[in-house]
């Protein structure tokens, strides 16, 4: 039914790339605070190596993933097959927030399409790769990516996006530090 993988081989990397959406889950340390699960879409995910992946972190209304990763690094990415044969893949690991100015930011950012709303790159060193059946995941027909965030970001421009991040992405909903300075 389910299996563990030692690495992300080419076949698995191709399957991950074909998925139109994935989910990211993180939690603060301890037994208090809000667990976060966020859907991600568009062309924002990349396999960097056999046990390393990354995704573009776009400006949004919250900053939970960033705050949780800065506190404890724990993260899981989940991909579900909504078309074709059923399958779920989870990538558990330790994540890092790569902001502009970080030595690897430009190197990793070049692997993604330009998006004016990119506030950071989330890099994950994967320590557990597993799949499960996905038999109960419904079938959906992919119609297309939404362009609302791109249009919103382009309309705001760099300076207004920076002000938005300072106002809305400095703290998590539980008061953990989020983005700092100019990102």
pLDDT tens, position by position, 71-83 = 999 999 999 999 9
pTM of structure: 0.95
Q: DSSP letter string over 1-22?
A: --EEESS--HHHHHHHHH-SEE
| pLDDT cut 70: percent of the chain above it | 98
- In whole numbers, what is the pLDDT of the chain averaged over residues? 96
Q: Tell me the β-bridge partners of 58.
A: 118
How far is it, in rounded angstroms, from Cα 68 to Cα 74?
A: 7
Percent of the chain with pLDDT over 90: 96
Of 69, 42, 72, 71, nearest in space to 58 by CA: 42
Domains of the chain: 3-168 (2.30.110.10)
Residue whose entry in the numeric block shows the structure tokens 């996006």: 161
Q: Within 10 Å of residue 72's Cβ, how many Cβ atoms?
A: 15
pLDDT for 180 equals 82
Residue 6 — pLDDT band, cuts 50, 70, 90? very high
Q: 137: which DSSP letter?
A: S
**Is the pLDDT confidence value at 18 over 80?**
yes
Can you tell me the mean pLDDT for 12-38?
97
Asked if pLDDT for residue 182 goes beyond 70, the answer is: no
Asked if residue 181 has pLDDT above 90, the reply is: no
What would the pLDDT profile of 102-142 be if each residue is shown by its tens digit? Answer: 999 999 999 999 999 999 999 999 999 999 999 999 999 99
DSSP 71: H
pLDDT of residue 179 exceeding 80, the answer is yes
Of 36, 43, 22, nearest to 90 (Cα)? 22
Average pLDDT over residues 166-183: 90
Residue 168 has a pLDDT of 95
78 strand-pairing partners:
23, 90
Does residue 183 register a pLDDT over 90? no
For residue 102, the model assigns a pLDDT of 93
């Amino acid at each position: 039914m389910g299996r563990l993988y030692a690495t992300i081989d080419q076949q698995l990397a191709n399957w991950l790339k074909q998925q139109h959406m994935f989910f990211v889950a993180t939690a603060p340390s301890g037994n208090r605070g809000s667990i976060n699960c966020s859907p991600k879409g568009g062309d924002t995910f990349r396999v960097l190596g056999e046990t390393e992946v990354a995704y573009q972190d776009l400006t949004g209304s919250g900053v939970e993933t960033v705050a949780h990763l800065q506190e404890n690094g724990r993260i899981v990415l989940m991909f579900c097959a909504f078309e074709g044969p059923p399958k779920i893949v989870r990538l558990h690991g330790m994540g890092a927030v790569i902001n502009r100015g970080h030595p690897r930011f430009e190197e990793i950012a070049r692997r993604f399409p330009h998006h004016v709303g990119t506030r950071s790159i989330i890099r994950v060193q994967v320590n557990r790769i597993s799949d499960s059946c996905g038999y109960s995941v419904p079938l959906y027909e992919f119609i297309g990516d939404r362009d609302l965030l791109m249009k919103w970001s382009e309309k705001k421009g760099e300076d207004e996006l920076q002000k938005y991040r300072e106002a809305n992405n400095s703290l998590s909903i539980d008061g953990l530090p989020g983005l700092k300075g100019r990102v």
